[in-house]
Amino acid sequence: MNRRDCLKVIGIAPAAALGLQAADAPHPIQLQLDLEVDPAKEKELLTNYRNTFRPAISKQPGFVDVKLMKLRAEMAGKAPANCTYRLLLSFQTEDQRKAWVATPLHQKVWPAIEGTLKGAKYTALLYDVV
């Protein structure tokens, strides 16, 4: 399946279908959360992410992508202190991401993720994809 077909499957119309030229197409946002996971709850985090959080977020308007990454190694510089996981959330717009956060479904599934965290829990950085 090519990228254009994948976009259709997840409900993102290619720019041409929206009547836009590629240069006019809006750029998505990406929220990056560095998670301070309780080592005793790592398996619970993975189960909640795969079985609850990812299926819930993937059905939201404007959803582009979600990934949970586990730190393997510091290649250059220092990794965020005590954060071995990074959660990447992408939406077509920041307003769509905020709308997702305000849903009752988010209020149900996020605490299952947050309950596996400790200390400062997480840091969040918002990026525009360019």
Domain boundaries, the chain: 27-128
The number of beta carbons lying within 10 Å of the beta carbon of residue 129 is 10
| DSSP result, 26-72 | PPPEEEEEEEEE-GGGHHHHHHHIIIIIHHHHTTSTTEEEEEEEE--
Q: What is the pLDDT along the chain (130 residues), one digit of tens a residue?
A: 544 444 444 454 444 444 444 455 579 999 999 999 999 999 999 999 999 999 999 999 999 999 999 999 989 988 888 899 999 999 999 999 999 999 999 999 999 999 999 988 999 999 999 9
Q: Per the structure block, which two tokens stand in for 109?
A: 């599934």
pLDDT (0 to 100) of residue 125: 96
What is the third-level CATH fold of 27-128? Alpha-Beta Plaits (3.30.70)
